[in-house]
Amino acid sequence: MTTPVSVKLLAPRAKLPAYGSADAAGADLYALADGPVEIAPGESALIRTGIALAVPRGYVGLVYARSGMACKHGLAPANKVGVIDADYRGEVMVCLHNHGTQPQTVEDGDRIAQLVVAPYLTAQFQSVDELDGTERGCGGFGSTGRR
pLDDT of residue 8: 98
Does a structural domain hold residue 147? no
- The domain total for the chain is 1
Does a structural domain hold residue 67? yes
CATH number at residue 38: 2.70.40.10
Does a structural domain hold residue 145? no
Domain of residue 56, residue span: 6-119
Does a structural domain hold residue 48? yes
Task: Tell me the residue type at 9.
Answer: L
pLDDT of residue 137: 82
Q: What is the DSSP string of 76-142?
A: EETTSSEEE-TT--SEEEEEEEE-SSS-EEE-TT-EEEEEEEEE---------S-PPP-SSTT--SS
Does a structural domain hold residue 89? yes
Q: Mean pLDDT for each consecutive 10-residue tract of the chain (147 residues)?
A: 94 97 96 98 98 97 95 94 97 98 97 97 96 85 73
101: left (phi over 0), alpha (psi -120 to 50) or beta: alpha
